[in-house]
């Protein structure tokens, strides 16, 4: 997680547009049940 935070800070400092979100939980099914829809909608913006 720390590397993600560092990259986010570097992108922010360089004024590079990006999206960054942190959520509680691990990458287990309980997490994905809550976040799968938003994740797929996010990636759909780039592949369709």
Q: Residue 5 is encoded by which pair of tokens?
A: 């935070």
pLDDT above 80 for 6? yes
Question: What's the pLDDT tens digit per position in 27-47?
Answer: 789 889 999 999 999 999 989
d(CA 7, CA 4): 5
Residues 25 and 31: beta-carbon distance below 8 Å: yes
Q: What is the pLDDT of residue 38?
A: 94
Going by pLDDT thresholds of 50, 70 and 90, the confidence category of residue 23 is confident
Number of domain units in the chain: 1
Mean pLDDT of the region 4-23? 96
Task: Write down the pTM of the prediction.
Answer: 0.65
């Amino acid at each position: 997680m720390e590397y993600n935070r560092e990259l986010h800070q570097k992108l922010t400092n360089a004024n590079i547009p990006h999206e960054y979100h942190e959520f509680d939980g691990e990458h287990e099914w309980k997490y994905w049940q809550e976040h799968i829809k938003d994740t797929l909608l996010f990636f759909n913006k780039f592949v369709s």
